[in-house]
């Protein structure tokens, strides 16, 4: 069993579920999960969790994400991107009258928190039905706005009617909808022309690998070289080593007392730490509770296979 995260480059035409299905075939393992969907026409970073690393899926989904998007002004579609049916076009004279300063001001005005209405063509569920299923059936229902955060917007190029921008945003932000909303603010309409996800937390485009590259690495017996171990995600947390007694306790996911730590440490109440044994094997994340003078398990990553191979 392989445990950890692979930084996959999702190619155009694949859904996130397609990537997971293909990786199951490449790696010959079932326990694989992705960390947030990307539209089929979008490309870029898709961290995929393997084995015990699937316990990180929710955490990685919550991380801020970075995109490079191209906005096309002057058109509105039912999907809010250029794959959809065109609903309206802006008058050519009005579109030609747009100035670069006005466009820049409108784009940059979305930096910060704003209430975004999710698009009908999305996987959000209402009364058990996915919105895109309702949209394909010709139904449109009222959606409640959701507060999202646009941490950064950088305009990379303005070649009207196209605007290229880099966006750093919170979980749940639809870049298609951001493009639509910018077009609405400019009163000319707008739709997303293309989208690249360039970063998810610590995972960047520069390190992402295509499925074909991963298949080649598997054939060369080098796939382990690109699997990021779960403890790397918690690099900002202090590492704590347990003694032999602590190792037995941690192996079963039990609470740890201060006497079961290999070193005397000054831990703060609520501090979360990485737990290792003397051999450097990672057990999981524990939180220190000062009143009890002990650490409670928060998330365990030691697998049964690793336990059987411990020799204890």
Active-site residues, by number, are 39
Asked if residues 253 and 246 have their Cβ atoms less than 8 Å apart, the reply is no
**Dist CA 195 CA 67 (whole Å):** 7
3-state secondary structure 265-292: CCCCCCCEEEEECCCCCEEEEEEEECCC
Radius of gyration, alpha carbons of the chain: 24
How crowded is residue 234: how many other Cβ atoms within 10 Å of its Cβ?
A: 19
Q: CA quadruple 242, 247, 248, 252: dihedral positive or negative?
A: positive
**Dist CA 158 CA 178 (whole Å):** 17
> DSSP state, 231?
G
Which residues have a Cβ under 8 Å from the Cβ of 248 and sit 6 or more positions away? 312
197 closest CA partner among 44, 8, 70: 44
């Amino acid at each position: 069993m392989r445990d950890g995260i692979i930084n996959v480059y999702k190619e155009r035409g694949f859904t996130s579920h397609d990537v997971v299905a293909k990786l199951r075939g490449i790696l010959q393992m079932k326990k694989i999960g992705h960390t947030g969907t990307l539209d089929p026409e979008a490309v870029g970073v898709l961290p995929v969790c393997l084995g015990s690393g699937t316990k990180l899926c929710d955490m990685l989904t919550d991380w801020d994400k970075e995109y490079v998007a191209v906005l096309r002004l002057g058109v509105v579609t039912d999907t809010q991107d250029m794959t959809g049916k065109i609903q309206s076009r802006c008058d050519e004279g009005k579109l030609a009258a747009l100035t670069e300063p006005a466009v820049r001001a409108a784009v940059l005005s979305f930096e910060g928190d704003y209430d975004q209405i999710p698009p009908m063509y999305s996987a959000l569920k209402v009364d058990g039905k996915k919105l895109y299923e309702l949209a394909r059936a010709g139904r449109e229902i009222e959606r409640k706005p959701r507060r999202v955060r646009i941490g950064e917007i950088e305009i990379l190029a303005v070649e009207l009617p196209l605007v290229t921008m880099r966006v750093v945003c919170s979980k749940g932000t639809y870049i298609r909808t951001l493009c639509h909303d910018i077009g609405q603010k400019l009163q000319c309409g707008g739709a997303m022309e293309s989208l690249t996800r360039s970063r998810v937390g610590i995972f960047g485009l520069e390190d992402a690998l295509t499925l074909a590259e991963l298949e080649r690495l598997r054939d060369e017996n080098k796939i382990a070289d690109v699997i990021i171990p779960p403890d790397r995600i918690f690099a900002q947390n202090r590492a704590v080593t347990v003694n032999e007694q602590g190792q037995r306790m941690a192996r079963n996911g039990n609470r740890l007392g201060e006497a079961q730590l290999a070193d005397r440490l000054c831990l703060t109440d609520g501090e979360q730490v990485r737990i290792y044994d003397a051999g450097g094997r990672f057990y999981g994340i524990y939180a220190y509770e000062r009143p009890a003078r002990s650490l409670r398990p928060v998330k365990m990553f030691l697998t049964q296979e690793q336990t059987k191979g411990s020799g204890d």
